[in-house]
Chains A and B, each alone.
Chain A
Amino acid sequence: MDKRINLIPTEMAVPARAVKLAKIINKFSTIATILLILASVILGSLFFYYSLERTKIKNNTESLISKISSLEKSEQKLVLAKDRLAKIKIVRDSKSVNNEILRYQEFSNIIANATGSAITEAVLTSKGTDVSIIFVDSASLSEVLSPLSKLTNYKKIILSSLGFNPNTGFLANILLQYEY
């Protein structure tokens, strides 16, 4: 049977609580070392993974840049088309009487088909159409007003003035207002 003999003088002997504390500290150090190794391995792996990913992205980006450079003519074409189309939209959205001609023609045909009435003057602007019509008698006036009231092309049809001259007949001024 082994016997442990302590030859250290008692005044030099380390107290038991110090030994216990040293053991705890050593355990703590061991755990910290394991954590250090683990952290190093994990962080090192992540660094390696992200570095690889970065290289891959960099290579892809460079190849895309050279591809875009080779498509410069297409880009010019697209930029020109986009620029022109944006400005064309501005022009097309600006007010005009381009679309009012056919509508006015329909109105004019009603007057032309009625007996004893004629358009003397018409002014078409983006705000509306101002028409001067002459009617030889009240019968022709009522003949025209009836189909005009059924016209749905205009927002409003305003009889702005109506005069009578015994020599020429009735002179009416009609304002045709557009939908917008």
Chain B
Amino acid sequence: MNTNLKNEINFLIKPVAIMFVVVVLTLTVAVLGFNKIVLIKSENEQAKEKEMVFQTKALILEQVETVLPGDITFLDVVLPSRGSVLYGLSQIKNQAIIYNLFLSNVKSGTLIPENAGVSKVTISFEAEGEEQNVYKFLDSFSTLLPLMNIDKVSLSKSASLVRANVSINVFSAELPKKIPALTGVVNELTTKEVALLKELATYTLPQFIEPQVSETTGQKEDPFN
């Protein structure tokens, strides 16, 4: 009986061993291979998503020159990073000259931080002149650069003239310090933003008078002689 069993075991040991090796190999290849394929597939999907982000970014950047042609440094005058008070004062004086108003008590306050990096400075002044001109003068601030908000106006009449006591906020904001990382997402300009940009381009920029070189032809005296 024992000899028979021994014979049976000896006879079956080889096919069983082969079957075991083959089954183990099949399972190992299937499990490891499947995991590897799943991993590569998910890596590829991630890489594809990244590629799509880059593709969109490249497309947006390629269109920038079409959407934003030319120089857009005027945006730094719309909302200056510095010197907003000077721009504001220049505009107030220029508009007063245009509408034939007499300016007095011009004062400027200190920089007050507002929301999201935007700051404001209040300029107060008195303007006197014909009533309709005062209205035109005040209305002109809605299309002047840099952006200015009339905070308060007190109007009083004396004879044929109107005196306006005005408080205007002139705004400024720091420039962005860095551009997004290469892998960072950029958003294209929305239709509203493009429309706003076009509208702002029609506003009146501040005018500064450049000092002219004297045209006197007489020869200057040599100070070293």
A residues with CB within 8 A of B: 11-15, 18-19, 21-22, 25-26, 28-29, 32-33, 35-36, 39-40, 43-44, 46-47, 50-51, 53-54, 57-58, 60-61, 64-65, 67-69, 71-72, 74-92, 94-99, 101-102, 104-105, 108, 118-126
Contact = CB atoms under 8 A, between A and B. Distances in A.
B185 to A, nearest CB: 11
6 contacts: A50-B41, A68-B61, A80-B175, A91-B79, A101-B139, A124-B152
Given A61-B51, A77-B72, A101-B135, A85 B196 contact: yes
B47 A54 contact: yes
B72 A80 contact: yes
A54 B179 contact: no
Contacts, number: 226
B176 to A, nearest CB: 4
Interface of B: 3-4, 7-8, 11-12, 15-16, 18-19, 22-23, 25-26, 29-30, 33-34, 36-37, 40-41, 43-44, 47-48, 50-51, 54-55, 57-58, 60-62, 64-65, 68, 72, 75-76, 78-79, 114-118, 131, 135, 138-139, 141-142, 147, 149-157, 169, 171, 173, 175-176, 179-180, 182, 186-189, 193, 196-197, 200
Contacts of B149: 91, 94-96, 98
A65 B29 CA distance: 37
Contacts of B197: 81, 85
B60 A78 contact: yes
Contacts of B61: 68, 71, 74-75, 78
Contacts of A118: 157
Contacts of B8: 14-15, 18
Given A68-B61, A83-B176, 8 more contacts: A18-B7, A67-B58, A80-B175, A84-B173, A97-B152, A98-B150, A120-B157, A121-B154
Contacts of A13: 7
B33 A43 contact: yes
A54 B44 CA distance: 6
